Structure formats: C-alpha cells, structure tokens
Amino acid sequence: MEDMRKIKDIYDCVDIISQEELYPLQKWYNQLIDKTTFEITVADVIRMIRQKQFISLAMSKAIKFLQDDVFIGEAYDG
C-alpha cells in the first residue's frame, strides 16, 4: 500500500519561493512535492532520476511502472 502523504510531508521539504518568476524546473519541483506517491507519473520519475531528487522513491516507482508495463515511457529512434 502506498503512502498517501504528500512528498513534502514524507521528506520534510518546502516549496521554492522567489520574488521573481520561477524557472520551469522549480515549478516542477513545487508541483512534485505537492503530490502523493500514488500521483507520481512516469515523466516525474524520469525527471527525478535526471535531477537526482528523491532517488529511492523514483527507483521504486520505476520498478513498479516497469512491472505493470515493460514498454512504458517514450521510445526514441536510435
């Protein structure tokens, strides 16, 4: 059973706040930490791994996604 708390509650992290407009990565981070582990998408997992954020959570979600569908994600030529 997945934890229904938000990621920011699990990992005790806070939103990025700035007087200037946030960069897209900062906006994604704020959206991510407002999600529960159940709401994480494949795109979130890919970005979490690329950005080295919440790696243990990202890897467990990646394994779960692959167990459900080995062809999940986007395919690229080459």
Q: Alpha carbon of 63 to those of 11, 57, 76: distances in Å?
A: 20, 10, 20
> What is the pLDDT at residue 55?
97
Query: Count of CB atoms within 10 A of residue 61's CB?
Result: 21
> What is the pLDDT at residue 2?
66
> What is the pLDDT at residue 30?
98
Going by pLDDT thresholds of 50, 70 and 90, the confidence category of residue 1 is low
56-69 pLDDT, tens digit per residue, is 999 999 999 999 99
> What is the pLDDT at residue 41?
95
Can you tell me the distance from the alpha carbon of 67 to that of 50, in angstroms, rounded to the nearest whole number?
21
**Burial of residue 60, with CB atoms counted within 10 A of its CB: 0-12 exposed, 13-18 middle, 19 or more buried:** middle
Domain layout of the chain by residue ranges: 15-68
Can you tell me the distance from the alpha carbon of 14 to that of 30, in angstroms, rounded to the nearest whole number?
8
Paired tokens of 39: 């709401």
28-78 pLDDT, tens digit per residue, is 999 999 999 999 999 999 999 999 999 999 999 999 999 999 888 876 665
